[in-house]
Every structure is written in structure tokens, then in C-alpha cells.
């Protein structure tokens, strides 16, 4: 598994739906028809703020994650990226 670049901007795949659950959340990808899950609410906060954060690291920090948690979230986000649940956000052209 390749490491996820925390300093780039990420987002959920447009065909992914997220449903909060008592233990975290369930994710469903309508394109691949695969299900995945988030094991805690902290990770859910990170995933939900990816779209507006300048980078994945910024999303982790905004969720109050310390160094150790950032490393854990990085591994979880990499699993999600590998199954196409997350996609890198294309940078808007400079003007």
C-alpha cells in the first residue's frame, strides 16, 4: 500500500455516500458497489472536512488530531484512497 500524501488536497469520490453510525460511519461507493467503514467519529470528522481543507493534514489538524493520531488517520485514508473511496482533488488552475 502506498502512503497517502497528507500535504495534498483530497475529497470523497463523487459516487461515495457516507452514513454516520454509532461506531463511526459506513461508506458506500455506488460505482464499485463496495462498502467500507470508519472506525471512529474522529476519522469521520476528518473525512467530512477533506473537501474544504487545503490538505489532508489540515483536515486532521482541524479535527484536533495529535501526531500519533495523524499517522493513524494517514493509514486509514490510504486504505480509502486505494479502494477509490477518496480521490485527489484536482487543483484549480492559477489565474
Partner 1 sequence: MQLTQRAPASERLVDLFERGLAAPICLTWELTYACNLSCTHCLSSSGRRDPRELTTDQAKAVIDELEAMQVFYVNIGGGEPTVRPDFWELLDYATAHHVGVKFSTNGVRLTPEAARRLARNDYVDVQISLDGATAEVNDAVRGAGSYDTALRAMSNLADAGMKNFKLSVVCTRHNIPQLDEFKALADRYGAQLRLTRLRPSGRGADVWDELHPLPEQQRQLYDWLVAHGEQVLTGDSFFHLSAYGKSLPGLNLCGAGRVVCLIDPVGDVYACPFAIHDDFLAGNVREPGGFAQVWRHSPLFEKLREPQTGGACASCSFYDTCKGGCMAAKFFTGLPLDGPDPECVQGYGEQLLADRGAVPKPSGDHSHRRRPRPVDVTLTRHRPAPDRPPVTACAEDPLAGTDFRA
Task: Return residues touching partner 1 (CB under 8 A).
Answer: 15, 17, 19-23, 26, 28, 30-31, 33-37, 39, 79-80, 83, 85
Q: 16 or 59: whose CB is closer to partner 1?
A: 16
- Looking at beta carbons only, is 41 or 61 nearer to partner 1? 41
Q: Are 80 and 36 in contact (CB under 8 A)?
A: yes
Among 94, 12, 1, residue whose Cα is nearest residue 53: 12
Least distance in angstroms from the C-beta of 74 to partner 1: 15
d(CA 76, CA 95): 34
Q: Nearest approach, Cβ of 37 to partner 1 (angstroms)? A: 6
d(CA 57, CA 70): 7
Amino acid at each position: 500500500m502506498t502512503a497517502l500524501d497528507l500535504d495534498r488536497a483530497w475529497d470523497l469520490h463523487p459516487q461515495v455516500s457516507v452514513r454516520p453510525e454509532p461506531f463511526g460511519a459506513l461508506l458506500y461507493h455506488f460505482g464499485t458497489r463496495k462498502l467500507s467503514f470508519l472506525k471512529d467519529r474522529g476519522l469521520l470528522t476528518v473525512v467530512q472536512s477533506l473537501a474544504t481543507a487545503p490538505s489532508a493534514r489540515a483536515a486532521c489538524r482541524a479535527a484536533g488530531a495529535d501526531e500519533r493520531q495523524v499517522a493513524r488517520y494517514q493509514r486509514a485514508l490510504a486504505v480509502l484512497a486505494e479502494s477509490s473511496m477518496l480521490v485527489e482533488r484536482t487543483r484549480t488552475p492559477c489565474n
